[in-house]
């Protein structure tokens, strides 16, 4: 049995791993006949919703006197289709897990993380003895799939474009999967959360909450969205140009981009506006303003220095555009953010 989770030279606490691998009473029974044994008390299931949805719907029973609930998924029997009234993270600590989420089959490998929004439906095939799936439930209604997408969108003109693009009509966007096996930082955060919870250390609730904020921020930073639309030549060009804007917004010009990709400047300008809905220059200004907003609300740098840092030379132009975009002046925006911290 492989029981070491190495990250940045640190092995996960062996005591915790031993606890997680040890069979509990439900697992012992499920290993005998591989039939699912109901583990939830009746008051953990929303009977009205379950009857309506024709599946088990788990409610907020788990959050008595706490905002976060962590458990090991019981092995040796398939878990039936169900949904939640809260946000759930499935983290594959060891081994693999086969799931069906909203009718789509997927496999979680060691180190993968699945984020399930309220209402997402999923079932889990039987786990083997060497499979450890950790469930993290939290009821912070301010954190959801749309929250993650909006955070990513606010920092990237390419993601803003892709997220606004139509998706398949039958595809629900209430879950995200993160292939984080090679991300040591995510592994380290998850190990710390698991150790804090199962070792019941002093102040563990407060520490876990802090780690979850760090986890969510790191997931947003690494979040990638695939282009759902057919990759014709024109769309691929626009996606490439938006990516160039995200990376080189300080010095980018339409002339430079047209020359790089071998297109006439006027043709590229018209194509970009038709596909994106806004002129090239407006998207560049949008990117500069969002970067300025990040610096204004997260640092104490002088506004004049920030204006220069994002590649804008005209201060009056910046102040007007910033107010038009955020409906607030830069210094007021900074003060408002400090009040909300």
Tokens encoding 39: 């583990």
Give pTM, 2 decimals.
0.68
Same structural domain, 247 and 329: yes
Is 198 inside a domain boundary? yes
Same structural domain, 114 and 31: yes
Is 320 inside a domain boundary? yes
Is 97 inside a domain boundary? yes
Q: How many domains does the chain have?
A: 2
Cα of first residue to Cα of last residue in the chain, in angstroms, is 46
Distances (CA, A) of 298 to 145, 245, 285, 334: 23, 22, 20, 8
* Rounded percentage of the chain residues whose pLDDT exceeds 70: 83
Same structural domain, 126 and 247: no
Q: For residues 58-81, give the mean pLDDT.
A: 85
The CATH number of the domain holding residue 64 is 2.60.120.280
Last residue of a domain, one of 222, 256, 272: 222
Same structural domain, 216 and 293: no
Same structural domain, 238 and 124: no
The CATH number of the domain holding residue 321 is 1.10.10.60
Q: Which of 35-49, 83-97, 247-261, 318-332 has the lowest mean pLDDT?
A: 35-49
Is 200 inside a domain boundary? yes
Same structural domain, 190 and 244: no
Same structural domain, 217 and 241: no
Same structural domain, 201 and 288: no
Last residue of a domain, one of 164, 191, 222: 222
**158 has a pLDDT exceeding 60:** yes
Closest by alpha carbon to 36, among 86, 73, 69? 73
Domain, as residue range, for 84: 6-222
Give me the DSSP letters along 75-109: PSSPEEEEEESSEEEEEEEESEEEEEETTEEEEEE
- A 10 A CB-CB count for 302 gives 9
pLDDT for 8 equals 45
Q: For 18-53, what is each residue's pLDDT tens digit?
A: 999 999 999 999 999 999 998 887 877 777 777 777
């Amino acid at each position: 049995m492989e029981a070491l989770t190495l990250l940045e030279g640190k092995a996960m606490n062996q005591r915790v791993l031993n606890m997680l691998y040890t069979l509990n009473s439900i697992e012992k029974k499920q290993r005998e006949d591989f039939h699912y044994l109901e583990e939830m008390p009746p008051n953990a299931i929303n009977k009205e919703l379950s009857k309506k949805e024709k599946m088990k719907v788990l409610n907020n029973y788990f959050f008595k006197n706490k905002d976060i609930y962590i458990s090991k998924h019981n092995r040796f029997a398939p878990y039936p289709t169900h949904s939640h009234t809260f946000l759930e993270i499935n983290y594959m600590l060891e081994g693999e897990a086969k799931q069906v989420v909203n009718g789509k089959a997927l496999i979680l490998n060691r180190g993968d993380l699945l984020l399930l929004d309220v209402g997402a439906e999923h079932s889990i095939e039987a786990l083997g003895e060497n499979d450890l799936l950790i469930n993290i439930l939290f009821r912070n209604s301010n954190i959801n799939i749309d929250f993650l997408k909006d955070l990513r969108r606010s920092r990237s003109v390419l993601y803003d474009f892709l997220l606004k693009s139509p998706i398949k009509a039958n595809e629900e966007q209430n879950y995200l999967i993160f292939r984080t096996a090679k991300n040591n930082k995510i592994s380290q955060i998850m190990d710390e959360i698991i150790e804090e919870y199962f070792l019941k250390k002093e102040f563990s609730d407060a520490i876990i909450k802090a780690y979850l904020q760090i986890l969510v921020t790191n997931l947003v930073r690494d979040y990638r969205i695939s282009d759902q639309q057919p990759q014709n030549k024109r769309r691929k060009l626009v996606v490439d140009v938006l990516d160039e804007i995200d990376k080189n917004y300080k010095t980018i010009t339409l002339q430079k981009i047209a020359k790089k990709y071998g297109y006439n400047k006027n043709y590229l300008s018209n194509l970009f506006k038709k596909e994106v809905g806004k002129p090239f220059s407006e998207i560049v200004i949008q990117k500069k303003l969002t970067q300025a907003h990040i610096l204004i609300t997260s640092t104490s740098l002088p506004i004049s220095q920030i204006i220069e840092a994002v590649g804008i030379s005209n201060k009056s132009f910046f102040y007007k555009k910033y107010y038009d975009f955020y409906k607030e002046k830069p210094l007021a925006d900074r003060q408002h953010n400090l009040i909300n911290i």
